[in-house]
């Protein structure tokens, strides 16, 4: 009998974090969960699995060498039996009730995919614990804004498994892209396949990241190369989904390129970017695109977000407020 939901978890050499991620799946309290763990060329994880998945179906795939997270997720999708699929990175965790809420939202809205709000935490949380971090991914859905930048983390998404209705080779992450593979897939689903996404405006995921882990944050010298890769990939993706050159999407894509230029200028002087710089810059872009911020102020606000002179924070549906860095 097929599972209700297949949770796909790519992992590599992070057994302790994987155990916590799997415990957060156990704490969902749901029956009929299938966990597909894909070991991407790392150390053996078989001994970790019983710690996190007692009483649930677990399937383990192991690559002899690393093929990257996109290929790992694709391998999990190929064998997932659930009517729905969800994603969980090995260093992140679900909050209790996340899958139940997402599945209920999929049924009530008729959407093809649901994404939950994420709590972005620089400190490790324990399974079942809700961090008090002020940083969230909590962006209202706008398919046009999705053409500007990605505001839907992979681990937040629960989707219908198209393998139950048709061959689903198109429901795959692009392993040729070095970054932004989730954004590329969402654009394909929404703009090429007509999928509908909806937001579940309740935190469902703890998304762990140290500020220095971002492509746009951390040590200046080390981050310049990462910034170049990020911008190159961004340009590759927007070229795949062209838009009219004078429209709102095109203008805000240019604002996003301004974001890269500001970050490069800051890093080239040897200075650091602000903690969680990308997340704050994304808030500026989203607020400007959705009309909660005057567009002519966007470049100045982006500079403030990236350099930390006055980091803007924007409530999901409310006005811009200033959080001054002291």
Q: What is the pLDDT along the chain (326 residues), one digit of tens a residue?
A: 567 999 999 999 999 999 999 999 999 988 889 999 999 999 999 888 865 566 688 999 999 999 999 999 999 999 999 999 999 999 999 999 999 999 999 999 999 999 999 999 988 889 988 998 888 999 999 999 999 999 999 999 999 999 887 767 889 999 999 999 999 999 999 999 999 999 999 999 999 986 545 555 445 667 788 899 999 999 999 999 999 999 999 999 999 999 999 999 989 988 888 888 889 999 999 999 999 999 999 999 999 999 888 644 555 444 443 332 32
The answer to whether the pTM exceeds 0.95 is no
The backbone torsions φ and ψ at residue 257, rounded to the nearest 5 degrees and listed phi first, read: -65, -35
State both tokens at 230.
């990020």
Cα dist from 128 to 16, 154, 222, whole Å:
16, 20, 35
The backbone torsions φ and ψ at residue 94, rounded to the nearest 5 degrees and listed phi first, read: -85, 145
Nearest to 195, CA basis, from 165, 217, 219: 165
pLDDT recorded at residue 73: 97
Instruction: Classify each residue of 121-158 as buried b or exposed e, where b means 16 or more C-beta atoms within 10 Å of its C-beta.
Output: beeebebeeebebebbbbbebeeebbbbbbbbbbbbbb
Strand boundaries in the chain, DSSP class E: 5-11, 33-40, 57-63, 84-87, 93-94, 113-121, 136-137, 157-160, 197-208, 311-314, 320-323
* DSSP helix/strand/coil, 35: strand
Nearest to 305, CA basis, from 257, 259, 237, 241: 259
pLDDT recorded at residue 178: 93
What's 5-209's CATH class?
alpha beta
Task: Provide CATH 3.90.550.10 ranges for the chain.
Answer: 5-209
The backbone torsions φ and ψ at residue 236, rounded to the nearest 5 degrees and listed phi first, read: -60, -45
Name the DSSP class of 88: -
Contact 322, 280 (CB under 8 A): no
Count of residues making up the chain: 326
The residues that bridge with 39 in the sheet, in sequence order, are 11, 62
pLDDT recorded at residue 275: 81
The residues that bridge with 295 in the sheet, in sequence order, are none
């Amino acid at each position: 009998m097929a599972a209700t939901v297949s949770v796909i978890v790519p992992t590599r050499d992070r057994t302790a974090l994987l155990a916590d991620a799997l415990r957060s799946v156990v704490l969902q309290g749901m029956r009929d969960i299938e966990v597909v763990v894909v070991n991407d060329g790392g150390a053996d994880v078989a001994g970790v699995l019983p710690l996190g998945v007692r009483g649930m179906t677990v399937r383990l795939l192991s690559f002899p060498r690393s093929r990257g997270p996109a290929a790992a997720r694709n391998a999990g999708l190929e064998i997932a039996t659930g009517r729905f699929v969800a994603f969980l990175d090995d260093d992140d965790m679900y909050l209790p009730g996340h899958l139940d809420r997402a599945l209920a939202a999929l049924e009530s809205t008729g959407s093809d995919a649901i994404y939950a709000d994420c709590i972005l935490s620089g400190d490790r949380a324990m399974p079942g614990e809700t961090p008090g971090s002020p940083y969230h991914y909590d962006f209202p859905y706008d398919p046009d804004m999705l053409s500007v930048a990605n505001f839907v983390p992979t681990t937040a998404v629960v989707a219908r498994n198209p393998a139950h209705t048709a061959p689903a080779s198109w429901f795959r992450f692009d392993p040729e892209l070095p970054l932004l593979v989730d954004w590329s897939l969402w654009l394909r689903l929404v703009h090429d396949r007509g999928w509908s996404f909806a937001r579940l405006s309740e935190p469902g995921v703890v998304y762990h990241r140290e500020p220095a882990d971002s492509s746009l944050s951390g040590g200046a010298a080390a981050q310049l190369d990462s910034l170049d890769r990020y911008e190159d990939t961004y340009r590759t993706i927007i070229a795949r989904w062209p838009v009219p050159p004078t429209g709102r999407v095109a203008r805000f894509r240019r604002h996003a390129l301004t974001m890269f230029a500001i970050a490069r200028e800051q890093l080239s002087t040897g200075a650091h970017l602000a903690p969680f710089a990308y997340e704050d810059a994304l808030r500026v872009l989203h607020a400007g695109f959705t009309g909660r911020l005057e567009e002519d102020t966007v470049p100045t606000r982006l500079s403030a977000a990236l350099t930390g002179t006055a980091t803007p924070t924007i409530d999901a549906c409310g006005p811009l407020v200033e959080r001054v860095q002291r």
